[in-house]
C-alpha cells in the first residue's frame, strides 16, 4: 500500500472532492493526509470525518494589494517549510492538489523532493493555481473539453469531479423529516456554496412568504457568519402551516439535496457535481465576481447538458412566483431529472483512483 498527500483546503469546492478521494484511497488500504486551510469552513466540514487525517497549513490567497501580497508571501513561506518537513517524514508516492491557495506549497515541496505531482481542476475555466502549477505536474485531471495552454495532452485525463460517498439518492420523506419539513409539500432549496451568498439569501428572504402562501417550503443555507438558525412559519392559502428554514451551515448535505424538488444555487463545480449525483433540478445563479468568470462557464455547460436553468444575478428579480409556478407546472422538473439521471452514471472517482494508483506504483 502507498502514502498520498491531498491538498484541498480553502473552500468546500476544494475540500469535498479531496475528502471523496481520501475515502476511496483509505478504503483500499492506502495512507492519506489531507492538507486544509485554517479557515472555519474547513474545520467545520472536516469534523465530520474523524476516520480521516487532516492537517491545517498556513497560507492566504494571492493578491496584488501591498499588505495582502506580503501576507501571502509570508504565510506561503511558512507553508512551504512545513510541507518540506512533511514530505520528508511521510514519503508520499504522490501529491494531489485540488487547486486553491493551499496547493502551492505542497506542490513545490513535492517537486523539490522528486515526488509525483497530480492536479485536479473541476471548473470549466482552470484557476490561477492550476495555470501556475500545471507545468510542475505529471498528471492533470480536467473536465471534458477543457485544455491548459502549453500542457502536453499526454499528461491530461478528462474526468469529472469526485463526490463524497454519502452524497447519494436517499428517501425524500426521511430527508425532509431531518429538517422538520412536510413530506407532501414542494421544497425549494437555496445554496450559496460553502461561503454562502448574500444575493441569494436576500432573494430567499423576499420570496419566502409568497412561496409559503402558495404551498412551497424553503430550505436556505445562508453561510457561516451570515445569520443564525431561523424557522419561519407561514399559513398557506389552503389553511395549512408551512415551515421554512434559514441555517448558516449544513452538515447534512445528502439530506438537504434529497429533500429538495428544486435548488437555487451558485454554480461552483462542487455544487453542480452533487446536484448531478442526487439528481436534483436546479436554477443556477453564477457568482459574477468569480475568478475568470468560471461559474458562468460552469453553468453554461451544465445548461447545455440539460441539467439546469441559468439566471444572471441581475435577473434575480425575474425569478419570482410567476416564473417559478410556470416552470414547476410544465413538467420541467421531470425532464431535467431524466437528464441528470444519465449524467449521474459517470464515475469520476473510479477513473481517478485507477489512474492514480497505477501511475504511482
Task: Determine contact, residues 79/73, Cβ cutoff 8 Å.
Answer: no
Tell me what percent of the residues of the chain surpass a pLDDT of 90. Answer: 66
Spacing of C-alpha 280 from chain mean position: 15
Spacing of C-alpha 9 from chain mean position: 12
User: The C-alpha cell of 205 is what?
Assistant: 428572504
In three state form, how does the secondary structure of 107-147 look?
HHHHHHCCCEEEEECCCCCCCHHHHHHHHHCCEEEECCCCC
User: The C-alpha cell of 141 is what?
Assistant: 485531471
Lowest mean pLDDT among 94-108, 231-245, 309-323, 330-344: 94-108
Task: Determine contact, residues 277/106, Cβ cutoff 8 Å.
Answer: no
Q: Which domains are seen in the chain, by residue range?
A: 3-160+347-360 (3.40.50.2000), 172-343 (3.40.50.2000)
Give the residue among 221, 231, 230 at the shortest CA–CA distance from 268.
221
pLDDT at 62 over 80: no
Bridge partners, 116 (sequence order): 94
Task: Determine contact, residues 218/243, Cβ cutoff 8 Å.
Answer: no
Mention every residue, 6+ apart, whose C-beta is less than 8 A from residue 326: none
pLDDT at 172: 94
What is the distance between the alpha carbons of residues 11 and 37, in angstroms, rounded to a whole number? Answer: 9
Residues 172-220 pLDDT 10s: 999 999 999 999 999 999 998 766 689 999 999 999 999 999 999 999 9
Lowest mean pLDDT among 101-105, 150-154, 258-262, 300-304: 101-105
* 51-67 average pLDDT score: 83
- In this structure, the number of other CB atoms found within 10 A of the CB of residue 126 comes to 24
- For the chain, helix (H) and strand (E) counts, in that order, are 13, 14
Confidence of residue 167 (pLDDT cuts 50, 70, 90): very high
Amino acid at each position: 500500500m502507498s502514502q498520498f498527500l491531498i491538498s484541498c483546503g480553502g473552500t468546500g469546492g476544494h475540500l469535498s472532492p479531496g475528502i471523496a478521494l481520501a475515502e476511496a484511497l483509505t478504503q483500499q488500504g492506502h495512507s492519506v493526509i489531507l492538507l486544509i486551510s485554517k479557515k472555519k469552513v474547513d474545520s467545520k466540514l472536516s469534523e465530520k470525518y474523524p476516520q480521516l487525517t487532516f492537517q491545517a497549513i498556513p497560507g492566504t490567497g494571492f493578491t496584488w494589494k501591498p499588505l495582502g501580497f506580503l501576507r501571502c508571501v509570508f504565510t506561503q513561506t511558512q507553508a512551504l517549510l512545513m510541507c518540506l518537513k512533511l514530505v520528508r517524514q511521510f514519503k508520499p508516492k504522490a501529491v494531489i492538489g485540488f487547486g486553491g491557495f493551499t496547493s502551492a506549497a505542497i506542490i513545490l515541496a513535492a517537486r523539490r523532493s522528486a515526488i509525483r505531482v497530480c492536479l485536479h481542476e473541476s471548473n470549466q475555466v482552470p484557476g490561477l493555481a492550476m495555470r501556475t502549477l500545471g507545468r510542475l505536474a505529471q498528471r492533470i485531471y480536467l473536465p471534458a473539453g477543457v485544455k491548459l495552454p502549453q500542457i502536453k495532452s499526454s499528461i491530461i485525463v478528462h474526468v469529472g469531479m469526485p463526490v463524497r460517498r454519502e452524497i447519494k439518492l436517499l428517501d425524500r420523506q426521511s430527508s425532509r423529516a431531518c429538517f422538520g419539513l412536510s413530506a407532501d409539500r414542494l421544497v425549494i432549496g437555496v445554496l450559496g456554496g460553502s461561503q454562502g451568498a448574500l444575493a441569494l439569501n436576500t432573494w430567499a428572504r423576499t420570496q419566502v412568504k409568497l412561496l409559503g402562501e402558495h404551498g412551497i417550503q424553503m430550505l436556505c443555507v445562508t453561510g457561516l457568519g451570515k445569520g443564525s438558525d431561523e424557522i419561519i412559519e407561514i399559513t398557506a392559502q389552503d389553511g395549512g402551516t408551512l415551515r421554512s428554514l434559514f441555517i448558516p451551515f449544513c452538515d447534512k448535505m445528502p439530506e438537504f439535496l434529497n429533500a429538495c424538488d428544486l435548488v437555487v444555487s451558485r454554480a461552483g463545480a462542487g455544487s453542480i457535481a452533487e446536484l448531478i449525483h442526487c439528481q436534483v433540478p436546479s436554477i443556477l445563479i453564477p457568482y459574477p465576481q468569480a475568478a475568470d468568470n468560471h461559474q458562468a462557464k460552469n453553468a453554461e455547460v451544465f445548461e447545455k447538458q440539460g441539467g439546469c436553468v441559468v439566471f444572471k444575478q441581475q435577473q434575480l428579480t425575474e425569478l419570482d412566483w410567476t416564473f417559478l409556478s410556470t416552470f414547476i407546472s410544465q413538467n420541467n422538473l421531470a425532464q431535467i431529472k431524466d437528464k441528470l439521471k444519465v449524467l449521474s452514471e459517470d464515475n469520476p472517482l473510479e477513473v481517478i483512483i485507477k489512474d492514480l494508483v497505477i501511475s504511482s506504483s
